[in-house]
Amino acid sequence: MCKNKKFKFSLLNKFGCNYIHSAFFISLSIFIFSCQNTSNKTILKNANPTFEDVAPIIFKNCTPCHRTGESGPFELMNYENVKKYANKIKFVTQTRYMPPWPADSKYTHFIGERILTEVEIETIKIWVENKMPLGDATKIPTPPTFYYGSFFGKPDTIIRFKDLVPIKGNGADHFYIIKLPMQFSKDTFVRYFEFVPSHRKLAHHINGHLINYQEGSKKNISNGISYSIDNYKDYKDLYQQMNILNDDGTFPTLTPNTVYYLPGFVPPKYPSGIGGYKVNKTSAIFLKNIHFGPSNKDVLDSSFINIFYGPKPKRPIFETQLGTFGVSKIEPELILQPNKIQTFTTTLALDADISILSINPHMHLLGKAFWAFAIKPNGDTIPLIKIHKWDFKWQYYYTFEHPLKIAKGTTIKVFGTFDNTTKNRNNPNRPPKLVTQGEGVKSMQTTEEMFQFIFTYLPYQNGDEKINLKE
Ligand code: HEC
């Protein structure tokens, strides 16, 4: 439904400013922002905070990741843990490195925003400077309980790799194709799939499709090889070896992009009836592109997918992407010269009314700043997202609190700034070299670049703005 149209420069001029220049100011404002945070004098509830004051801050904002099985490198579950890492905790909260939330909350708000208040940051600071007093042990809240192996709780069912997938410790990127057969006793509705990587440091991105086999079209889905290195020119052979096709050789029904993972990603969960999938009795998850970053030792991957059932979907969700592999062109072409900081843009004019649910900015290691907004035909802007300091590790699907109506004739405009200098600590090339986006899926090496803005949406219906996506 969305067509790619070139952005009219006259629209920009209505604002009397040049956005390319403004994009450079993004990086300047990081410094101003962080100075403000440390200079503010804040009044605390308790001038001499004890662990009683600190524990709720940690349990709410840190423990969901800092526990066994999740991404945080150590546990923050109790007084001993928190005391042990106290100085680091003080540092990472002062600098706002933790909890990770790259989006500027002064620009737009999203569900699940992970941001500490000034009071919370100051409470931690004073507590650490006072040598971490425990206080009254009886008043400390009990740590929250979590379900091991899921961000959401106990899934209705779990599907696992049929065979563990070997990743060689040869320092190279690895691309795989993996099939996970599914057999249910009857057709089922799934609300969302949660991919849980077994090696979070290696899982770079996963994009999987749902294959539904019609009754009688597939005898045994679990026959065939379950994984393969993705080095095929012609996938027909591989589909045969993996036993993907219908028994009569035709293609089964495929719903693209049902299972997704990026560093820091948690699947967005929408209110019942919005989104979701019908999964047939005989079906499979087909991880068509799965990318593990370089490893320095041989490992076996045993990632799995949590499945949460739901009601029959009423309003299917659509997804569109701008930029790399998407519906809109990047201007100028994404060619990153060594030792340069460059800004690129991509634009999409909408030709129907839509309700945006979630947005996902995507760049790799050379990303520096990201900014997206929409311009209505009357010249008003709708802010979408601003990221002052890109961090490859945190690529959330940011979900709005209410569907955001974007009317026909509105133009989405995205800017991405890339830093291909040695000052970028994440630059994989020393000295910096020319970097492009390469061609095709296998070009998505960590060391090649992408500039994408993905959004999920519903065709607009009256009253969408009032839906509470938080539930
Ligand atoms: C969304 C998940 C997540 C949340 C929420 C989170 N962390 Fe982390 N934390 C991580 C991951 C992953 C790392 C390791 C990667 C990194 O350093 O960026 C990390 C690293 C750290 C480090 C080590 C930094 C270093 O370089 O040694 C500290 C300290 C820390 N977190 C404290 C906290 C505190 C305190 C909070 C809450 C205020 C918090 N984290 C919230 C995921 C999280």
Axis-axis angle for helices 118-129, 86-94 (nearest 10): 150
Using DSSP, state whether 67 is helix, strand or coil: coil
**Could you tell me if the CB of 94 is within 6 A of ligand 1?**
no
Question: Can you tell me which atom of ligand 1 is nearest the CA of 99?
Answer: 41
Complete edge-to-edge strand list for the sheet that includes strand 354-363: 318-323, 451-459, 354-363, 398-406
The protein residue with its alpha carbon nearest to ligand 1, atom 23, reads: 88
Ligand 1 centroid to residue 74 C-alpha, Å: 8
**Could you tell me if the CB of 114 is within 6 A of ligand 1?**
yes
Q: For the whole model, what pTM was predicted? A: 0.82
Q: Which of 441, 440, 442, 428 is nearest to 336 (CA)?
A: 428
- 47, 122 contact by CB (below 8 A): no
Q: Which of 398, 406, 410 is nearest to 469 (CA)?
A: 398
Ligand 1 centroid to residue 165 C-alpha, Å: 28
> 10-residue block means of pLDDT along the chain (471 residues)?
30 29 37 41 84 96 87 92 98 96 96 93 97 94 86 93 92 91 94 91 87 94 91 80 93 88 81 91 92 91 95 90 94 96 98 96 94 97 97 89 97 98 93 83 66 96 95 72
Report all structural domains of the chain as residue ranges with CATH numbers, in order of start.
9-27+318-466 (2.60.120.230), 42-139 (no CATH), 157-309 (2.60.120)
> What are the backbone dihedrals phi and psi of residue 242, each rounded to the nearest 5 degrees, phi first?
-85, -10
Task: Give the contacts of 377 (CB within 8 A, at least 6 positions apart).
Answer: 407, 409, 410
The best mutation among 60, 61, 62 to test binding of ligand 1, ranked by most ligand atoms within 8 Å of the C-beta, falls on 62
- 238, 227 contact by CB (below 8 A): no
- 165, 225 contact by CB (below 8 A): no
State residue 7's pLDDT score. 29
**Could you tell me if the CB of 65 is within 6 A of ligand 1?**
yes
State residue 341's pLDDT score. 98
- 456, 357 contact by CB (below 8 A): yes
Ligand 1 centroid to residue 72 C-alpha, Å: 6
Measured torsion, CA atoms of residues 331, 435, 385, 21, in degrees rounded to the nearest 10: -60
Pairing of the two strands 299-301 and 165-167: antiparallel
Q: What is the largest CA-CA distance in the chain?
A: 74
State residue 288's pLDDT score. 84
**Could you tell me if the CB of 85 is within 6 A of ligand 1?**
yes
Ligand 1 centroid to residue 451 C-alpha, Å: 26
Q: Which of 389, 321, 311 is nearest to 359 (CA)?
A: 321
Per DSSP, the residues of 114-183 read ----HHHHHHHHHHHHTT-----GGGSPPPPP--TT-SSS--SEEEE-SSPEEE--SSS-EEEEEEEEEE
Question: Can you tell me which atom of ligand 1 is nearest the CA of 391?
Answer: 18
What is the gyration radius of the CA atoms in the chain, in angstroms? 24
Complete edge-to-edge strand list for the sheet that includes strand 381-387: 330-331, 341-349, 411-419, 367-375, 381-387
**Could you tell me if the CB of 61 is within 6 A of ligand 1?**
yes
Distance CA 68, CA 34 (A): 31
Distance CA 166, CA 227 (A): 10
**Could you tell me if the CB of 98 is within 6 A of ligand 1?**
yes
Question: Can you tell me which atom of ligand 1 is nearest the CA of 85?
Answer: 29
Q: How many CB atoms lie within 10 A of CB 253?
A: 13
State residue 19's pLDDT score. 34
State residue 34's pLDDT score. 38
State residue 6's pLDDT score. 31
Ligand 1 centroid to residue 105 C-alpha, Å: 19
The protein residue with its alpha carbon nearest to ligand 1, atom 37, reads: 62
